Structure 1
Amino acid sequence: MKYNSVFDIIGPVMIGPSSSHTAGAARIGKAARNLLGSEPSWAKIHLYESFAKTYKGHGTDFALAGGLLGFETDDTRLSKALELAKERGLTIEFVEDTSAVSHPNTARLTIGNEEGQVELVGISIGGGKVEITELNGFELRLSGNHPAILVTHNDRFGAIASITSILAKHKINIGHMEVNRKDLGKEALMVIEIDQNVEQAVLQELTNAQKIIKVSTIVS
């Protein structure tokens, strides 16, 4: 196995006890919060296999709650996140789901507030690293370890070009990009991993582009 740095071996700076069950879970929760665009008021979290069996003992429950509250993996408040969630009016339901999944550390989060809701599937792949494999019914493969822009758009000619041209104008480099659609001519999802976080003005310009329905971000 090839490691890019020592941090791939020892994992991130984090509140324990487990990089996979705690740090990874916190990052999945925070990714969901970022994609919603604000703090949720409710969350329903399905946990599978290893997550479902050990989530209380390994801190997966409070880590997911902490991520939903916007906490980083090394935030000392993480272990108290369930209590803090109640204080902030965030209701969380955990479901031990027996459905078959492709990875033992899998969680499906459906979260929302009065502005809308988001549903995603995240897996913790070890060392605090995660992947988002589904968003609002779209299959994708998104690392939660790099800044990303997610663009829901009409599946029409020119939509992709309108987004990439704006990023090029602002000299924002694309590290990885994929496009998925549910059906021909319906809604589609652009997933763009980039090298740096983007300013709000750029996000607004992307939102105003032709054929664009919604723009969400994951920040590093």
Structure 2
Amino acid sequence: MKFRSVFDIIGPVMIGPSSSHTAGAARIGKMARQLYGRPPQWAKVHLYGSFAKTYQGHGTDVAIVGGLLNFDTYDERIKEAFDYAKEAGMEVDFIEEEGSSDHPNTARIKLGDETGEFELVGISIGGGKAEITELNGFELRLTGESPAILVMHNDRYGAIAAVTKVLAQYEINIGHMEVARKEAGQEAMMVIETDGRIPEVAMEELKDCEHILQVVTISE
């Protein structure tokens, strides 16, 4: 059997040909899209290590763009991601970085529109899996394999307790949680992975908690 392109090899849960360079890259892009919370108007994607060397041949570029369009890793539309991005008015630039990184499959993505922008670092760890290791300068570990919420808040007494109280009220069990801050008393961030999806009514209550600045959910 002869394939017209590498993207004619599509498995049941991920695109080919490489779980690390395509499916993992698509997952990084999708997590970036979900964390941003809306379609970005532009994106600058800095690629490091193996990503920088092979991104065109292995389809890392179209996979990341597909993720930014909120396509799943197995979505056949990924192979036309550049066309869909153009239709959506999304401009994406890829930059090959020569510097080293902690992981060979690393992408630093900057997203933005007229109302704001943000930046994250994602790594593809194999088997179609990925992790977000940095967000707007905060170090974290977010896999996207479980439902999760990201809470930006003022570093004040009671902020963490207020969030966990709401989750307990709706019987939402926490599987993993970490808190990061750049400086005491300034802006901080909670990353909470849960055993089940968080209902919208709980999200609204979280947004109304004292000292909470922003709440974003990530679905598996």
TM-score bucket of the superposed structures, by smaller chain: over 0.9
Task: Find out whether 1:55 has 2:82 as its counterpart.
Answer: no
1:146-180 alpha-carbon deviations (Å, 9 max, x no partner): 11111010101000000000000000110000000
Gaps in structure 2 of 5+ consecutive residues: 1-10
Distance in 2 of aligned mates of 1:195 and 1:42 = 33
Q: In the alignment, what sits opposite 1:67?
A: 67
Whole-angstrom distance in 1 between the partners of 2:93 and 2:196: 34
Q: Which residue of 2 aligns with 1:159?
A: 159
4+ runs of 1 displaced by more than 3 Å?
A: none
**Structure 1 counterpart of 2:124:** 124
Equivalences for residues 1-220 of structure 1 within 5 A: 13-220=13-220
Structure 1's unaligned 5+ residue stretches are 1-10
Q: Distance in 1 between matches of 2:118 and 2:35?
A: 7
* 2:7 aligned residue: none
Secondary structure of the 1:144 match is coil
Query: What per-residue deviation string (whole Å, max 9, x for no partner) do you get for residues 75-116 of structure 1?
Result: 110111012111110100100012221100000011122332
Q: CA separation in 2, counterparts of 1:109 and 1:28?
A: 9
Secondary structure of the 1:77 match is helix
- Contact 1:12/1:128 (CA < 8 Å) preserved in 2? no
Q: Secondary structure at the match of 1:193?
A: strand
Same amino acid, percent of matched pairs: 62
User: Structure 2 CA distance, aligned partners of 1:39 and 1:12?
Assistant: 26
Letter of the 2:130 counterpart: V
Report the alpha carbon displacement of residue 12 of structure 1 after superposing the two structures with TM: 7.0
Letter in 2 for 1:31: M
Query: What is the DSSP-based 3-state SS (H/G/I as helix, E as strand, rest coil) of the residue aligned with 1:183?
Result: coil
What residue is the counterpart of 1:3 in the other structure? none
Question: What is the letter of the counterpart of residue 106 of structure 2?
Answer: T
RMSD (Å) for aligned C-alpha atoms: 1.1
SS in 1 for 2:140: strand
Structure 1 Cα separation of the partners of residues 65 and 156 of structure 2: 38
**Contact in 2 for aligned 1:36/1:116 (Cα 8 Å):** no
Distance 1:145 1:42 in 2: 26
Question: Which whole-Å deviations, capped at 9, do the CAs of 1:170-213 have from their partners, x for residues lacking one?
Answer: 00110000000000110011010011221222111101100001
TM-score by length of 1: 0.93
- Contact 1:176 1:194 (C-alpha < 8 Å) held by counterparts: yes
Shift, 1:118, TM fit = 2.1
Letter in 1 for 2:73: T
**Partner of 2:99: helix, strand, or coil?**
coil
Cα distance, 1:144 vs. partner?
1.9
* Distance (whole Å) between structure 2 residues aligned to residue 153 and residue 131 of structure 1: 22
Q: Residue 7 of structure 1 aligns with which residue?
A: none
What amino acid is aligned across from residue 76 of structure 2 in structure 1? T
Is the contact made by 1:85 and 1:91 (CA closer than 8 Å) also made in structure 2?
yes
Conserved 8 A contact 1:15-1:79: no
